[in-house]
Chains A and B, each alone.
Chain A
Amino acid sequence: MAKETLNEDLITGQQTYVSLDNTIGSMVLDGKRHKKNWYVMLGIAFMLLNGFMLAVGWLLYQGVGVWGNNVPTGWAFDIINFVWWIGIGHAGTLISAILLLVRQQWRNSINRFAEAMTLFAVLCAAQYPLLHTGRPWVAAYWLMPYPNIMGLWPQFRSPLIWDVFAVTTYALVSILFWFVGLIPDLATLRDKSTNKIGQKIFGFLSLGWRGSMKHWHRYEQAYLLLAGLSTPLVLSVHTIVSYDFAMSIVPGWNVTVFPPYFVAGAVFAGFAMVLLIGLPLRAWYGLKDMITMKHIDWMCKIMLATGLIVFYGYFLEVFYAYYSANPAEISLAEWRFYGPYSPAYWALIICNGIIPQLLWVPKFRRNLPLVFIVCLFISVGMWLERFVIIPMSLMKNYLPASDRFYYPTIVDFTMFFGTIGLFFFMMWLFIRFLPVINMFEMKDLLFKQNLKKEKEAEEKQEAGVH
């Protein structure tokens, strides 16, 4: 077995195939690697999850009146949180699909947990469209085209039904992509596992994967094609989410900049979440050799770039409002600047526009606590962005007589924090029971880096001879 040092950029330390497998695989196979931190985080998440259950129970018992939604603010926390979660999910697909297509090998160590993050974020997002109908089991025929006895079909000219198709497709394709990536790793765990139950479960899940060269050949084709399909999918999902707004005539919503600005915002929020999970993970589980400073540096740069696009979007919104010369649009812009909810608007500008500018400085990008705090601000900022766009636009309409103020209720907040609980609960279970880093891709990376090093060494030698 070759024992060589690796490319210091992507994997550091003296690593072998076995050491990579052990570092990652033992997180699943050896429960002792999970210390107090894991239990504490799982406990907090579980408490929040219980809050979610209570809020949902109360909602189903009483109806959507327990939320702060009113007329004209028919959309509020339900859609804010939906868009926020879907956006967070997008970074996972971006990392796993787009970075794969453009051959960014640094993705190999973060794609697995970013994909898991996508799945759980979409799961959280899906709660809201289902629950905002109040009686989801009665309302199914609004969402899905199934032949019901009323002879009704969904309205396919509405962006809302596009959204259902986009999000359903996104959830299913993300699961496929994630599972396909897991198959060889599950086989590794099956072979490494020393107890009967583990062998049975991983053996079942790995579908009898045996690493045949013929299988790998088709596997790689399928994986690359799934990446190629996920890329236009991820761009279309948030575009269609933004159509929910942009296709309407509500002041502040009817803007053509929404699709690109939403997609950029999604990536921005998603990378912040990847770092919020990745930073503690690498510290607590000794994954610093695999999720290196270089990775963090690159992720910060992506956040900076997408953050600037988002910031540009905020400028454009204001520009469009005044340029349109439409009194409703102008008064909405001023309502955002000076209205009763203006603190939310200015907090948004600070969180998403000003604070991420710190990432220009290389020294700050290497300061991990600072990066963590910036990511927290970005997450809050992206939530505020949706708050500013959704209820703040709906409160003020064309007819001043129909304006009405919106207040969220305690149930709204319990449900929101509840989905955060659901997300982290799933995430920590994932960390315990499945490999957080793609083992076979890491080995592949190790092999390629060894080759590269050898070649460089040879060239050096040759240059020395001549």
Chain B
Amino acid sequence: MFHRSAPKAYGVVAEFDSPELLIAAAKKTREAGYKKLDAYTPFPIHGLVDAVGFKDEKVPWIVFMGGIVGATAGYLLQYYTSVIDYPLNVGGKPLNSVPMFFPVTYECTILFASFGAFLGMLALNKLPQPYHGVFNTPNFERASQDKFFLAVEANDTQFDEVETKKFMESLDANNVSLVKESPGVEE
């Protein structure tokens, strides 16, 4: 692969052996003043989000809105078809048979809320995203298996290719590397 100019840095990435080491390192990095942190782990690690100072509660709200949209859509579908578009007297029941319309409304609520959870999670995570700078990290295929990675991203105000790397090297990591956005001029 050829690049006219050297690729931009994604950040500095350090590799750790265990979740405990990762959490300790994340805390130290944050204390050192870095804000744009991310960690890459094979399974969700509780406490990591607090250590890095990340909080996001949009997914539950999307699910809630999905549920409301589903309930409304489900009921309106039945109301429109049975009362407005094709009024049909069945056994003298009222056209707007509220209790009879409940099950479909209920199922639509769950259906839309579930799609809210699925699509909301993917959209907020910006997935699918087949390519990302962090994939250039050496040994990164272990991030989905048994290694734990901590990244300081290049868009952090305090980021400096040399200084940040030096700092990360002081953190009990197996390996620290400067990672570029695209492969080619690596290391």
B-binding residues in A (CB < 8 A): 1-2, 16-18, 21, 145, 151-157, 159, 161-162, 165-166, 168-169, 172-173, 176-177, 179-180, 184, 187-188, 190-192, 203-204, 207-222, 225-226, 229-230, 232-233, 236, 240, 243, 440-441, 443-444, 447
Which B residue sits closest to A19, measured CB to CB? B146
Q: Which residue of B40, B63, B131 is within 8 Å of A212 (Cβ)?
A: B40
Distance A167 CA – B82 CA, assembled complex (angstroms): 22
Q: Which residue of A153, A208, A213, A226 is within 8 Å of B82 (Cβ)?
A: A153
Please state if B101 and A173 are interface contacts (CB–CB under 8 Å).
Answer: no
Distance A232 CA – B107 CA, assembled complex (angstroms): 10
Q: Which residue of B103, B111, B145 is within 8 Å of A17 (Cβ)?
A: B145
Please state if A153 and B44 are interface contacts (CB–CB under 8 Å).
Answer: no
Q: Does B68 contact A (CB under 8 A)?
A: no
Interface residues on B, range: 35 or more
A–B complex contacts, Cβ < 8 Å, 19 sampled: A1-B146, A18-B146, A153-B81, A157-B82, A157-B97, A166-B107, A168-B107, A191-B142, A207-B122, A212-B39, A213-B38, A213-B49, A213-B52, A214-B38, A219-B121, A226-B114, A230-B114, A240-B107, A447-B43
A-binding residues in B (CB < 8 A): 17-19, 38-45, 48-49, 52, 54, 56-60, 63, 77-78, 81-82, 85-86, 88, 90, 93, 97, 100-101, 103-104, 106-108, 110-111, 113-115, 117-118, 120-122, 124-125, 127-132, 134-135, 141-146
Please state if A208 and B45 are interface contacts (CB–CB under 8 Å).
Answer: no
Most buried by B among A168, A219, A243: A219
Q: Which residue of A165, A172, A218 is within 8 Å of B104 (Cβ)?
A: A165
Which residues of A are found within 8 Å of B122, using beta-carbon distances?
207
Q: How far is the CB of B109 from chain A (nearest CB, A)?
A: 9
Q: Beyond A173-B114, A212-B38, is A16–B146 a contact (Cβ under 8 Å)?
A: yes
Q: Beyond A2-B18, A210-B134, is A165–B103 a contact (Cβ under 8 Å)?
A: yes
Which residues of A are found within 8 Å of B131, using beta-carbon distances?
208
Q: How far is the CB of A410 from chain B (nearest CB, A)?
A: 36
Please state if B104 and A156 are interface contacts (CB–CB under 8 Å).
Answer: yes
Please state if B42 and A166 are interface contacts (CB–CB under 8 Å).
Answer: no
Which residues of B are found within 8 Å of A203, using beta-carbon distances?
130
Which B residue sits closest to A170, measured CB to CB? B107
Which A residue sits closest to B123, measured CB to CB? A218
The 10 closest A-B pairs by CB, nearest first: A207-B128, A222-B121, A191-B141, A153-B81, A17-B146, A162-B103, A216-B44, A213-B39, A444-B43, A221-B59
Please state if B43 and A441 are interface contacts (CB–CB under 8 Å).
Answer: yes
Q: Beyond A208-B131, A213-B41, is A180–B125 a contact (Cβ under 8 Å)?
A: no
Which residues of B are found within 8 Å of A220, using beta-carbon distances?
44
Distance A343 CA – B108 CA, assembled complex (angstroms): 42
Which A residue sits closest to B135, measured CB to CB? A210
Please state if A152 and B54 are interface contacts (CB–CB under 8 Å).
Answer: no
